[in-house]
């Protein structure tokens, strides 16, 4: 039997309401903050991600689904949206139309990571990119939105962690300091960190190995190297978060796995999902647009993993059980009345009622069982004496009251019954 590919997951009809719930809340909150949706293709030219995310990052060096198409172009299934949104922003000159573009998305992403709870190879993110302003209030707005969405979904065990990564020049100076500090300690580091020492030194702070954590506990911190402008920006973001009731912790070791960040970086962590605890992450990227060939334009954004959020909701018991209910189940008493039942079902459906009927020529008893299984509010009985009288019978399944309604005035009489 062919099964779904490792690290991918079917969303079955029994789970779909949870997805609709998350997606509709996400859309509502983004809309209130005046973000508009952008959709970009599922694949891009491979070089976009190398240039955008950084060649030495894990995502680009190890995790991309890259293939050469029949035209000999190297393409990659998008591992994240920021580079793709920036590509579209530049390509369509969105910056020329308005000074700030506030964009949001909900889309699949692809990363060939080792699958585990909360970590998939095809997963879904919602997120936003606000392109065009250096204001620290836009950083704060992005964090407020991320926090509000997660809180409104009912999640409580949340920690917002923020840090400032300064400017690239500051980071280079800092990296030299960090290298000096680690120069006589590399023997103590894990194999993975030894490689990162050469290629992506900041990520040493992300290691889960106890030895690495011990070595890094006394390492110099980037936050102590920030210039005045970076500190002022960071401070304004923190004040805005306090004023807008977003609790947060400054985590000077928060570095993020993508290279494009400048100044603010943040993550929101759940205490309820195990080791893959980041529900969302983001930050400012003031040089990315220029690096991808656009005019120098600042930006800030975040993305959140929907599968992880659903897992957190399940573990915090905030997924309310879905009791699916239908408005009408049509019970056809005589088997030759199937076409009449279908006609009435269509009429009701066209009037926006959720309606089901039997298509398997089942007995009246079996149809009643089905009406109960589907939690029908009403059953509509087609046949019997009423039908000879050009009428049908409607039964309220909770109260048991029955009403005979004439087929001549079917729509208006149904309405009256429902209004009772
Ligand atoms: P990221 O931290 O790589 O950032 O991903 C954001 C979120 O996507 C994570 O916090 C996590 O919830 C989810 N996620 C990532 N990888 C997986 C996976 N393999 N399986 C399940 N969920 C996953 C970005 O992607 C940046 N583009 C965010 C951003 C937007 N920064 C600025 N603007």
What pTM was estimated for this model as a whole? 0.94
| Mutation test residue for ligand 1: of 125, 161, 278, the one with most atoms within 8 Å of CB | 125
CATH architecture for segment(s) 13-166+226-315: 2-Layer Sandwich (3.30)
Ligand 1 atom 14 nearest Cα: 305
* Ligand 1 atom nearest to CA at 119: 20
- Where exactly are the structural domains of the chain? 13-166+226-315, 328-419
The answer to whether the 13-166+226-315 and 328-419 domains have the same CATH topology is no
CA of 63 to the centre of ligand 1 (A): 13
Instruction: Retrieve residue 242's tokens.
Output: 């306090």
Q: Give φ, ψ of 269 to 5 degrees.
A: -105, 140
| Mutation test residue for ligand 1: of 274, 303, 313, the one with most atoms within 8 Å of CB | 303
Ligand 1 atom 12 nearest Cα: 305
Q: Are 162 and 256 in contact (CB under 8 A)?
A: no
Instruction: Retrieve residue 270's tokens.
Output: 């759940």
Ligand 1 atom 15 nearest Cα: 305
* Ligand 1 atom nearest to CA at 267: 10
Ligand 1 atom 23 nearest Cα: 305
Q: What is the dihedral of CA 282, 283, 286, 289, to 10 degrees?
A: 10
Could you tell me the fold of the domain covering 328-419? Rossmann fold (3.40.50)
CA of 303 to the centre of ligand 1 (A): 6
CA of 370 to the centre of ligand 1 (A): 43
User: Which residues approach ligand 1 with their CB closer than 6 A?
Assistant: 80-82, 111, 113, 118-120, 123, 125, 127, 129, 257-258, 278-283, 301-305, 307-308
pLDDT (tens, 9 = 90+) of the chain, 420 residues, equals 999 999 999 999 989 999 999 999 999 999 999 999 999 999 999 999 999 999 989 999 999 999 999 999 999 999 999 999 999 999 999 999 899 999 999 999 999 999 999 999 999 999 999 999 999 999 999 999 999 999 999 999 999 999 999 999 999 999 999 999 999 998 999 998 998 888 889 999 989 899 999 999 999 999 999 999 999 999 999 999 999 999 999 999 999 989 999 999 999 999 999 999 999 999 999 999 999 999 999 999 999 999 999 999 999 999 876 678 999 999 999 999 999 999 999 999 999 999 999 999 999 999 999 999 999 999 999 999 999 999 999 999 999 999 999 999 999 999 888 887
pLDDT in tens, 298-350: 999 999 999 999 999 999 999 876 678 999 999 999 999 999 999 999 999 99
Say how far apart CA 219 and CA 177 lie, in whole Å. 9
CA of 333 to the centre of ligand 1 (A): 55
Cα of first residue to Cα of last residue in the chain, in angstroms, is: 53
Q: Are 272 and 159 in contact (CB under 8 A)?
A: no
How big is the CA angle at 137 (ends 124 and 50), to the nearest 5 degrees? Answer: 45
Q: Give the gyration radius of the chain's Cα atoms.
A: 28
């Amino acid at each position: 039997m062919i099964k779904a590919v490792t690290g991918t997951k079917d969303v079955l009809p029994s789970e779909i309401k949870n997805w609709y719930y998350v997606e509709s809340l996400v859309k509502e909150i983004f809309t209130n903050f005046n973000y508009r949706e952008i959709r970009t293709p599922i694949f891009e030219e491979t070089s976009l991600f190398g240039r955008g995310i950084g060649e030495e990052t894990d995502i680009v060096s190890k995790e991309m689904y890259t293939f050469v198409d029949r035209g000999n172009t190297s393409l990659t299934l998008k591992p994240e949206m920021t580079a793709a949104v920036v590509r579209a922003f530049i390509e369509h000159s969105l910056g020329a139309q308005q000074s700030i573009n506030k964009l949001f998305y909900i889309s699949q992403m692809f990363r060939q990571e080792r699958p585990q709870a909360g970590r998939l190879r095809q997963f879904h993110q919602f997120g936003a990119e606000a392109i065009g302003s250096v204001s620290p209030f836009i950083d704060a707005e992005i964090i407020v939105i991320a926090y509000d969405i997660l809180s409104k979904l009912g999640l409580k065990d949340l920690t917002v962690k923020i840090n400032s990564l300064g400017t690239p020049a500051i980071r280079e100076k800092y990296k030299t300091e960090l290298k000096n500090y680690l120069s006589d300690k590399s023997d103590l580091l894990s194999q993975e960190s030894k490689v990162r020492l050469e290629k992506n030194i900041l990520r040493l702070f992300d290691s889960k190995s106890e030895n690495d954590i011990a070595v890094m506990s006394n390492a110099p911190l980037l936050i102590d190297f920030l210039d005045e402008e970076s500190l002022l920006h960071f401070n304004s973001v923190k004040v805005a978060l306090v004023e807008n009731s977003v609790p947060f912790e400054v985590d000077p070791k928060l570095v993020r796995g993508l290279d494009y960040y400048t100044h603010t970086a943040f993550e929101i962590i759940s205490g309820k999902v195990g080791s893959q605890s980041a529900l969302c992450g983001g930050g400012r990227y003031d040089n990315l647009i220029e690096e991808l060939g656009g005019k120098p334009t600042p930006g800030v954004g975040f993305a959140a993993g929907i599968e992880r959020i659903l897992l957190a909701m399940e573990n915090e018991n905030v997924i309310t059980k879905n009791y699916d209910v239908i408005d009408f189940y049509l019970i056809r008493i005589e088997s030759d009345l199937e076409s009449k039942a279908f006609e009435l079902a269509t009429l009701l459906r066209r009037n926006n009622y959720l309606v089901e009927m039997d298509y398997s020529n089942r007995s009246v008893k079996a149809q009643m069982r089905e009406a109960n299984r589907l939690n029908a509010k009403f059953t509509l009985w087609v046949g019997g004496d009423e039908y000879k009288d050009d009428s049908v019978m409607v039964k309220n399944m909770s109260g048991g009251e029955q009403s005979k309604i004439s087929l001549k005035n079917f729509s208006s009489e149904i309405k009256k019954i429902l209004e009772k």
